[in-house]
Structure 1
């Protein structure tokens, strides 16, 4: 269980809020960490070289699955091994929001990670949840803390341990299902699925396997036009990001490797994990060494190094604050790019 937090809270005056058409840049009072590394001159237009990476909360086992809740101006994220969901806001800092976040039973002997993992905020104020411990996909209401199971099986067999999730505007959901939540991982006797899949969940509740050839599919995200799906493969022997072209129904029409992190993995800890995409199509992807920024062709532009393994990231505030879950802490950095959905 977490041993506590050191909180960095920024309080903005009502006068400032009233004067701004959009939320102002958050004030920063937490410890500065890490560094910004450019691989290409264009990176400065995406993340400035003098951008400050700020640690805003710490004391977690493994922070994951960040989601910005625009209606309440706060961040939700999970400590997956601790089976706890946390809430952070600039005004109130960090606090326990929900425990258990995932599996609520007592028989945890077969579980390696009992908590929930990836989160995806929905326009209606609800949150999609990849529940690793309960081995299902659910919809969660932050107001009532009630959840509704959307999918728990494929072809009559339980999922392994759903990891990350992405939602299209039409309600179609994509999620990954590696076995990381099970003791023994691929060798777990609880594992029922013959593959570690990437799935599509349609609004009618039907589940479709769209990729079954990856060893450890992990992070998942959609391009701004939602015609492309990105999937990170956390396999240390084949650490790649895959790209899938989608038709209007969400069927895969083409697939290929977008980028390979083998050279990074040889020199740094970490693996392709969670990722998010900016409105101009740049990928902010967990990678060995930090949060790697690539263009849509897979070209490396730069890296945000926190000094620890990065699990995931999401945009929040006015869309130009990047929140990063990084091992035992959560950080944020102001960037020049803007998140999808914050364009207006």
Structure 2
């Protein structure tokens, strides 16, 4: 993917639903907001400091729990929220705010904000310094300068279909390719509005709602074409699967004596006799293969590897060789 020319105007990106408003804040407003946010408590991530208001942001799911509101947005952002709401391309009042502090070399990994968690419009306001944000959709890539005190509005295609990120670097090629150092500090205010209904957007490729709908079909497909097949061929399959992978054996031999080991997707149980001084908990989706294990005097149960019948922290080690395939 070739390096993109850094655009200075939102319209130059050609991305529908992307609007860049320069000079959205005055210098006085910027100073006031920075002073107010610095008076609040910061949380530290691995490389940057953050604050969450309204609802706590969960980075694992890139969303929030709508039932766990931590309070209203701070009063010092009320004028900004109302100004954004008055924009024709926004038209809604935000109820979640994430404040990020960036220092040179720290960026943001490529992502699309989770479709089902938030509404159609996101807004991000830049304070204390500029940055270059890049947008990706398949092989397409656009780079846009976000000036200090500007507001970036993402809706529709820009919000749902394009991944956005900030490259992890200390300089940006802003002036005829010449590297310009990033400011010593940049603070972003990202405003969102949560939603509780599934997403029905026109961009299923990045949509968690559509992907979850597809996942509901997978168990039926697996049952029809995988589990039933293995049940039917289990004895023959077992007779052709007897060699143990050296690296798996090496791993099992490295485990402490007396350990409890889960073998998820144990097949015909060829690894269950590797260590007589360990306890193996074996399971497989195929009842036919579980019966093969039982005939060999191994303890095994029929269970789905995605829903193991073991409590958390009950095993010292686990293997799932099917995943390695």
| Same fold flag (TM > 0.5) | no
Larger Rg over CA atoms: 2
TM-score relative to the length of structure 1: 0.22
Instruction: Tell me which protein shows more strand as a share of its residues.
Output: 1
Instruction: Tell me which protein shows more helix as a share of its residues.
Output: 2
